[in-house]
């Protein structure tokens, strides 16, 4: 029998002991929650111990079986979530996902919408951007399920709805559905502002990104500046500030204001490098290189790239490919074509490898390859990558499409397709002009909206003043009417009160004598009923102890029978030890049943003498020659303390008999249980055996007996000590619990 089996067996015994006195009834939520808490403890790293998912699955299986009779759907869902943690620990992702989806389904059927929404949000968060397009779609799907669940709560779960909307908008921005994303993000912003939420810089940041992708650079800058102001107000110094500075810098870049964009991107790069964030470093570094390249400072951009890569090595294939693409752009701009060939070879190999993730590659990646092949005269290959460049641009932004058509014009011109090149260039100009026109129209619309809003507010203020004036006049009239009515009503009420007081005084004087007599009769009847109930309760308590004792004796008999069929020494030892523990508990219930008074207290002298007599008979039957002396004071303990004291004695005597003495050499075990000052009780068990080995630490021992002694000492809130004094001496000092007379009479 291995340690895990012994541990589970011990837990089942403790579970039986803890619930046996409650009789035959359905388990309640406390018992099921206790099993679930135990499962959570063993499935997670706790106290330096490794997770034990198998034990967690066993405990949740027991909890689920207990939940059949008083069936509670939400508990089934919580059990499934614990199972999911266990399957995740075991590395079985298929069963992990199945358990989480079962929990979501149960929450939905039970109408537990908040729990369902939270679980969907957690599940969506497990899919990362690096898991590919299919994983991102799954992430979006779970966020939408969470939003639908939260909407069932109406205004009560507005903040949860806003968080779900924010995550959905973030996913739509990745899929380049900018219009939908901006609508969702604005709805989330309105909810956050109405709730008074302060740390909403990420909402402003995403709105800035969406506006920039839709070609509205001024609006993007406005949102970006608001994001920084909000972040500074809440003292945000996290790595998220890197994204905020980068996106604002990118908005300035797309607006053509490079000198204002550069310091923002530099600040973003410093934050990414500080936190060693590889993905953020990749994105921001390429943005800084883009600005420096447009300013004609390509050499500086190359040096910055080398310095940054020394501080933050780029290891992920996708990130490495993006950085190499920008290095190729810079080398081409510096006409250092000899250094470009190795980069091109690596980039082409990356694109041709079907195992690599080509999703969301930036437009600059393909632009670099197009410019390279144009520079060496391979125009047809340049056209192939130009087509990919156009495909990326068509789903990115109008500004990206403008750049793509300009690059297409260069390739068509190199191929001699001058008419196509002219058409591409005209398309490029048309898109550029439309961006300028759209921005101007938006600004004009903003000015008109602000003017109309101001006019409406002025009209509303005038109307409000008129309403305030009319209201004040009405209040004066109401006040005068109210004053007259108040005087009249006061006279009437005072008169009525005087009459009522006179009548009440006479009435209560007549009734007081009758009530006093009625109360005396009622008190006598209640005393008789209480005496009868007390007798019935004492009978029930005796019956409970009698049945528990009988049940324990049945289990002991079953274990004795099982011993006759077992040959394995370890199994026999484990069953015998369990039998002795059950016998120690059974003796207490026998004492409680046989006691005529104070049914909740155990005379420890009688109990210990009888338990030692039983243990001496047991071990003498096995050929032992050990004498046990005892010094037990006059002491009555409550059952909640007598049980752990008896189990500690049982474990200590058993350990001494098993390990303390050499075979066939007589030994002595001294036991004392004496009361001390201030309700203190000292339990001492000492033997003259071999004692503990040098350097032995009981708290680190894997012995079940020592663990149980420490467990019961903690239950008693006692001070437990182990000493080597011509053998082993165990002492435990604990406080005696005083039981009130009422409790002892009805326990």
DSSP assignment of 641-677 equals: HHHHHHHHHHHHHHHIIIIIS-TTS-EEEEEEEEE-G
pLDDT at residue 23 greater than cutoff 50: no
**Of the candidates 717, 653, 716, 721, the residue with the CA atom closest to the CA atom of residue 689:** 653
pLDDT at residue 660 greater than cutoff 90: no
Average pLDDT, integer, range 613-631: 75
Phi and psi torsions of 52, nearest 5°: -130, 80
Residue 690 structural domain:
598-746
438 close to 215: Cβ distance less than 8 angstroms: yes
With H, G, I as helix, E, B as strand and everything else as coil, classify residue 682. strand
Alpha-carbon gap, residue 198 to 418, rounded angstroms: 57
pLDDT at residue 640 greater than cutoff 80: yes
Average pLDDT, integer, range 356-385: 73
Q: Which residue would you say has higher pLDDT here, 337 or 296?
A: 296
Q: Which residues of 66-86 are buried (b: 16+ CB within 10 A; e: fewer)?
A: bbeeeeeeebbbbbbbbbbbb
Average pLDDT, integer, range 65-77: 73
pLDDT at residue 732 greater than cutoff 90: yes
Q: Which residue would you say has higher pLDDT here, 99 or 554?
A: 99
- Look over the chain and give the mean of its residue pLDDT values, rounded to a whole number: 79
Domain membership of residue 350 (yes or no) is: no
Domain membership of residue 45 (yes or no) is: no
pLDDT of residue 731: 92
C-alpha gyration radius of the chain: 41
Domain membership of residue 621 (yes or no) is: yes
pLDDT at residue 589 greater than cutoff 50: yes
Side-chain-facing half-sphere of 709: CA atoms under 13 Å: 26
CA distances, 283 to each of 243, 320, 532, 740 (Å)? 9, 11, 83, 72
Domain membership of residue 702 (yes or no) is: yes
Q: pTM of the prediction?
A: 0.47
The DSSP bridge pattern shows strands 728-735 and 680-687 to be antiparallel
Average pLDDT, integer, range 498-519: 82
Alpha-carbon gap, residue 610 to 583, rounded angstroms: 11
Q: What is the pLDDT of residues 460-482, one digit of tens each?
A: 567 767 766 777 777 777 777 87
Percent of the chain residues topping a pLDDT of 90: 12
Phi and psi torsions of 669, nearest 5°: -125, 120
582 close to 556: Cβ distance less than 8 angstroms: yes
**How many structural domains comprise the chain?**
1
With H, G, I as helix, E, B as strand and everything else as coil, classify residue 460. helix
169 close to 206: Cβ distance less than 8 angstroms: yes
Domain membership of residue 603 (yes or no) is: yes
pLDDT at residue 330 greater than cutoff 90: no
Residue 298 in tokens:
């390509």
pLDDT of residue 448: 45
Domain membership of residue 85 (yes or no) is: no
Highest mean pLDDT range out of 31-40, 195-204, 470-479, 738-747?
Answer: 195-204
pLDDT at residue 344 greater than cutoff 60: yes
Q: What is the CATH number of the domain that holds 724?
A: 3.30.565.10
Domain membership of residue 280 (yes or no) is: no
With H, G, I as helix, E, B as strand and everything else as coil, classify residue 321. helix
Residue 618 in tokens:
């047991």
pLDDT at residue 22 greater than cutoff 70: no
Domain membership of residue 52 (yes or no) is: no
């Amino acid at each position: 029998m291995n340690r895990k089996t012994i541990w589970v067996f011990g837990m089942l015994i403790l579970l039986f002991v803890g619930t046996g006195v409650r009789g035959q009834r359905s388990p309640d939520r406390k018992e099921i929650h206790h099993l679930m808490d135990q499962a959570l403890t063993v499935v997670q790293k706790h106290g330096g111990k490794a997770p034990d998912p198998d034990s967690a699955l066993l405990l949740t299986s027991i909890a689920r079986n207990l939940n059949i009779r008083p069936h509670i759907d939400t508990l089934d869902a919580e059990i499934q979530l614990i199972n999911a943690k266990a399957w995740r620990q075991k590395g079985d992702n298929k069963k992990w996902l199945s358990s989480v989806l079962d929990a979501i389904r149960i929450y939905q059927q039970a109408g537990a919408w908040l729990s369902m929404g939270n679980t969907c949000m957690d599940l969506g968060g497990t899919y990362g951007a690096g898991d590919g397009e299919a994983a991102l779609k799954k992430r979006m799907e779970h966020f939408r399920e969470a939003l639908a669940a939260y909407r069932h709560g109406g205004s009560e779960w507005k903040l949860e709805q806003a968080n779900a909307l924010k995550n959905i908008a973030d996913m739509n921005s990745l899929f380049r559905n900018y219009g939908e994303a901006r609508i969702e993000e604005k709805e989330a912003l309105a909810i956050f502002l109405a709730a008074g939420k302060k740390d909403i810089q990420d909402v402003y940041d995403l709105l800035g990104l969406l506006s920039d992708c839709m070609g509205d650079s001024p609006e993007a800058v406005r949102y970006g500046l608001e994001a920084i102001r909000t972040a500074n107000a809440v003292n945000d110094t996290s790595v998220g500030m890197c994204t905020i500075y980068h996106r604002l810098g990118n908005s300035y870049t797309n607006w053509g204001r490079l000198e204002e964009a550069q310091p923002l991107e530099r600040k973003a790069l410093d934050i990414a490098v500080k936190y060693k964030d590889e993905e953020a470093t990749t994105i921001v570094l390429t943005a800084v290189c883009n600005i420096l390249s447009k300013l004609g400072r390509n050499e500086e951009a190359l040096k910055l790239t080398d310095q940054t890569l020394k501080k933050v090595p780029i290891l992920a294939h996708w990130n490495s490919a993006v950085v190499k693409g920008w290095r190729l752009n810079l080398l081409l701009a510096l006409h250092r074509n000899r250094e470009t060939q190795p980069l091109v070879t690596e980039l082409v190999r990356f694109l041709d490898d079907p195992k690599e993730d080509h999703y969301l590659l930036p437009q600059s990646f393909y632009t670099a390859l197009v410019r390279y092949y144009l520079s060496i005269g391979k125009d047809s290959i340049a056209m192939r990558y130009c087509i990919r460049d156009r495909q990326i641009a068509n789903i990115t932004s109008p500004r990206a499409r403008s750049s793509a058509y300009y690059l297409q014009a260069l390739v068509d011109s190199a191929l001699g397709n001058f008419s196509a090149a002219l058409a591409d260039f005209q398309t490029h100009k048309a898109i550029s002009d439309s961006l300028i026109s759209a921005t101007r129209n938006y600004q004009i619309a903003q000015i008109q909206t602000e003017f109309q809003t101001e006019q409406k507010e002025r009209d509303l203020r005038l109307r409000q003043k008129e309403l305030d004036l009319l209201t004040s006049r009405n209040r004066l009239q109401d006040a005068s009417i109210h004053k007259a009515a108040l005087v009249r009503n006061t006279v009437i009420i005072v008169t009525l009160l005087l009459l009522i007081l006179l009548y009440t005084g006479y009435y209560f004087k007549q009734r007081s004598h009758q009530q006093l007599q009625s109360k005396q009769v009622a008190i006598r009847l209640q005393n008789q009923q209480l005496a009868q109930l007390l007798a019935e309760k004492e009978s029930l308590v005796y019956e409970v102890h009698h049945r528990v004792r009988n049940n324990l004796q049945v289990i002991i008999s079953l274990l004795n029978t099982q011993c006759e069929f077992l040959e394995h020494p370890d199994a026999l030892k484990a069953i015998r030890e369990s039998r002795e523990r059950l016998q120690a508990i059974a003796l207490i219930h026998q004492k409680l049943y046989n006691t005529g008074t104070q049914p909740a207290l155990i005379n420890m002298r009688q109990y210990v003498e009888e338990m030692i007599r039983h243990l001496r008979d047991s071990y003498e039957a096995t050929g032992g020659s050990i004498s046990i002396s005892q010094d037990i004071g006059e002491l009555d303990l409550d059952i909640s303390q007598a049980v752990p004291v008896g189990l500690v004695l049982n474990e200590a005597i058993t350990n001494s008999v098993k390990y303390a003495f050499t075979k066939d050499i007589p030994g002595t075990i001294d036991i004392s249980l004496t009361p001390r000052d201030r309700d203190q009780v000292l339990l001492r068990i000492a033997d003259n055996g071999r004692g503990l080995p040098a350097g032995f630490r009981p708290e680190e021992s894997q012995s079940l007996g020592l663990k149980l002694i420490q467990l019961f000492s903690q239950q008693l809130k006692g001070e437990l000590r182990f000493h080597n004094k011509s053998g082993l001496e165990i002492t435990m000092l604990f406080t005696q619990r005083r039981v009130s007379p009422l409790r002892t009479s009805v326990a």
